[in-house]
């Protein structure tokens, strides 16, 4: 069986065989985490990581590995490329961490931010890696296309509560896209509405930080993309997750394959309830969060809201002697 035909890279499947740590959750970043060189150290030292990159190249029939490792940055940042690239780099980093014994316990939950939810579902055994690659490649293409047909933008509002941001949106016509942290909410919509919301945020002591995106993701401006994505999703065989995955839409565990397909179908035009997802896991007893993927945006947000947690990034997991175990 070639790598492209396997259900999940073998080194990642090893995650399912580990003893469970009821206080551990593994989380995966979404679009925006991409950077040239992501996964480089893992690919240099880990057979499992190299297999992940090789599989991505074979499935998509492009040199995605070269794009991840060498760029150019402008091509890597394109939505159609960034989504499969982050998925691949995150799984390569996870594969290396498992190969070197950096992760020695099975997490009680998996979760991913937006695109990262697909990474979590591969790690959970719900989606074949090859299917996930094709899904996110098409997802990225449709989202970028929708952004051209229905121009929109996004901005992060920091320093204000979600309730305050909700009122800004009511006054400006923008909508909430992502609930990221206690005082960080991403908004989206038509450019003029987002600009107005940012001005109102400043007046109230917050800040509006414009984001470089191809459209207003997770809003009704993505409705056309979501409709076009339905038959793509319908062509995929999904399985019940071996490890529970917290869904972006519901902020609750995805229990069945049917729920999984529904979740991914709604996710594109529905706000990402990331903050609520982390609260669910914390309330369930999780005290250790490990971010598997490029960067450490997710654990940085968690650190601000919940400094009592133990937080870890696997962005550079390939040197066993320099790495503590999880």
Active site residues: 114, 218
CA torsion angle 135 137 139 142 (round to 10): -140
Distance CA 304, CA 326 (A): 22
The DSSP line for 89-140 is: HHHHHHHHHHHTTS--SEEEEEEESTTHHHHHHHHTTSS-HHHHHHHHHHHH
Tokens of 308: 């009592």
CA torsion angle 212 213 214 218 (round to 10): -160
Would you tell me how many other CB atoms lie within 10 Å of the CB of residue 87? Answer: 28
Query: First and final CA of the chain: distance in angstroms?
Result: 31
Q: Which secondary-structure segment (H or E) carries 317?
A: none
| Pairing verdict, β 106-112 and 20-28 | parallel
Distance CA 103, CA 136 (A): 26
Tokens of 211: 């984001």
Distance CA 176, CA 288 (A): 28
Contact 23, 29 (CB under 8 A): no
């Amino acid at each position: 069986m070639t790598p492209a035909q396997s259900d999940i890279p073998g080194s990642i499947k090893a995650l399912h065989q580990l003893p469970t740590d009821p206080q551990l959750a593994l989380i995966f970043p979404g679009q925006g985490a991409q950077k040239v060189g992501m996964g480089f150290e893992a690919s240099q030292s880990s057979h499992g990581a190299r297999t992940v990159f090789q599989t991505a190249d074979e499935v998509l029939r492009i040199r995605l590995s070269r794009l991840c490792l060498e760029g150019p940055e402008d091509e890597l940042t394109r939505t159609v490329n960034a989504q499969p690239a982050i998925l691949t780099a995150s799984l390569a980093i996870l594969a290396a961490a498992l190969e070197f014994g950096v992760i020695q316990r099975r997490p009680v939950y998996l979760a991913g931010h937006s695109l990262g939810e697909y990474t979590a579902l591969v790690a959970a055994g719900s989606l074949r890696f090859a299917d996930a690659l094709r899904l996110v490649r098409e997802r990225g293409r449709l989202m970028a296309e929708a952004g051209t047909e229905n121009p929109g933008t996004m901005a992060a509002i920091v320093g204000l509560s979600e309730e305050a941001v909700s009122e800004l949106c009511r006054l400006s016509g923008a909508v909430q896209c992502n609930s990221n942290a206690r005082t960080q909410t991403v908004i989206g919509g038509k450019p003029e509405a987002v600009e107005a919301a940012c001005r109102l945020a400043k007046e109230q002591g917050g800040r509006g930080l414009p984001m470089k995106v191809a459209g207003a993701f997770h809003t009704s401006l993505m409705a056309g993309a979501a409709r076009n994505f339905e038959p793509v999703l319908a062509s995929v065989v999904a399985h019940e997750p071996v490890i529970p995955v917290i869904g972006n839409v519901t902020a609750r565990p995805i229990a069945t394959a049917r729920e999984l397909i529904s979740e991914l179908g709604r996710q594109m035009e529905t706000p990402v309830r990331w903050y609520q997802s982390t609260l669910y896991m914390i309330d369930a007893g999780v005290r250790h969060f490990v971010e598997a993927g490029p960067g450490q945006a997710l654990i940085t947000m968690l650190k601000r809201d919940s400094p009592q947690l133990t937080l870890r990034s696997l962005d550079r997991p390939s040197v066993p002697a320099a790495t503590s175990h999880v």
